[in-house]
Amino acid sequence: MNIAEQFQQDRYAYIENIITPERASELTQHLFDEYQKGNSTKEKQCPLSDSFYNAPLLDKLHKELTEQLNDILDLDLEPSYCYARIYRPGEELHQHTDREACEISGTLTLGHDPDSNIWPFYIGEDMIDNVGKPLTINIGDMVMYHGMELNHWREKYTGTWQTQVFFHYVKKDGAYKEHAGDKIRVPIDTITEGYKDLSKQTIYLFEAGEHVKTNVQWELPNIKTFKKFLNQEFLPTLPNGYEAFLVGAFPHTHTWDIDVFIIGKPTDEVALWVIDMYNKSLNDYKQLIDISMFDNLNVFNNYDLFNKTKDPSVLVQSDMYRTFDKLYRNGRQVTNIHRKVTKISDVLYKHHTSEEVPNRKFLQKNFHQPMDLKRFNEVYNV
């Protein structure tokens, strides 16, 4: 099996000697020189370390490697941006997946304190694998991986310093091609501070059926507020025997709500709890937690296969249960106007989503793997 085949199968691949040790040493010195000039930044993901966005010599290398990587991986990639760090003692890179500009990414080791071992890079089999496989990436070597699909992280660093650079790419004709050159740049701290560039004139008011209403303008999601809601409201009261999963775009990219699936038998009792969670999230936390119920876990079947093939026939279409028949945002209906909906009770509606053709806009994207909300609460420690 060649590297391209391995990359397609495993969603990552180890590439040896992508640059020489001599060039890696020169680039390490370049980063320390940039640090001395005051050209580094501190950011929340790795606050103990020094970070560099598109450092000059690394940006040049990023573009130089594109054709070579295209040949190795049998892809047609375009650079989005590069990011480098001088990792410092005690640093920890928490488990995460990446934003759209990092559709295909590479991490390249440039150098490290000679008295310390190389700091291992952990990569999971999918978005929720929290065991992963540790990879020791030697100086001049690179690991290429699907950054949006595979959970990845580093455990606490016990060395003195290590220099690392990340080269991010998008497929030239892919779903994220507009992120080439990082034209739609999201600030690195957006994920924990909310979306700073949101127009002040944007108004979000919400109404769903007869039971969920608010006159409070809610805010776009952020992890800190969502975790507060999880710990104070959602997880302590989640009905016994039911599972809850985070699905959709959050926390990977900009989105106006947080999609949650409840797995278990849809009942009026659970529906009343869902209504309570809607109203509390909107009115007390100014976040929209959009909750759907499903009978079983079949709704998640074949996400990985679809991401690889983009064949909608592999997806399992399941019926959805909600506490309303229609949903409105700013007075405009956003649920499918052609959807068949059956009223089960005063608080429960069956949406016959199994009879619908998959939405074309979703078929252009990769499906993020669902994450159990209890696990999310542990992983995203902000």
Closest C-alpha among 256, 264, 243 to residue 290:
256
Report the DSSP pairing between strands 289-294 and 258-263: parallel
Supply the pLDDT for residue 169: 95
43-57, 150-164, 190-204: range with lowest mean pLDDT: 190-204
Domains belonging to the chain, first-starting first, are 3-188 (2.60.120.620), 206-379 (no CATH)
Confidence of residue 302 (pLDDT cuts 50, 70, 90): low
Supply the pLDDT for residue 202: 40
β-sheet bridge partners, residue 372: 245
Sheet with 212-213: list strands edge to edge.
212-213, 206-208, 327-329, 332-333
Contact (Cβ atoms closer than 8 angstroms) between residue 215 and residue 283: no
- Residue 33 and residue 231: Cα distance in Å, rounded? 44
- Residue 70 and residue 68: Cα distance in Å, rounded? 5
Please write the tens of the pLDDT for every residue from 315-363. Answer: 667 888 998 887 776 666 767 667 888 999 988 999 987 776 655 445 5
- Residue 237 and residue 176: Cα distance in Å, rounded? 38
Q: Rounded mean pLDDT of 33-51?
A: 90
Q: Following CA atoms 269, 273, 279, 285 in sequence, which dihedral angle do they give, to the nearest 10 degrees?
A: 180
Structure-token pair, residue 366:
């990769």
Place of tokens 């710990």: 231
Higher pLDDT, 205 or 39: 39
Structure-token pair, residue 41:
């930044």
Confidence of residue 197 (pLDDT cuts 50, 70, 90): very low
Closest C-alpha among 273, 324, 316 to residue 296:
316
Rounded to 5 degrees, φ, ψ at 379 are -70, -45
Please write the tens of the pLDDT for every residue from 199-214. Answer: 333 445 566 666 776 6
Supply the pLDDT for residue 254: 62
Please write the tens of the pLDDT for every residue from 152-187. Answer: 999 999 999 999 999 999 999 888 888 888 876 544
Tell me the pLDDT of the chain averaged across its residues.
Answer: 84
Neighbours of 360 (CB within 10 A): 8
Q: Rounded mean pLDDT of 14-31?
A: 96
First CA to last CA across the chain, in angstroms? 41
Supply the pLDDT for residue 141: 97
Supply the pLDDT for residue 361: 47
Closest C-alpha among 80, 101, 253, 83 to residue 176:
101
Burial of 14: CB neighbours in 10 Å, binned 0-12, 13-18, 19+ = middle
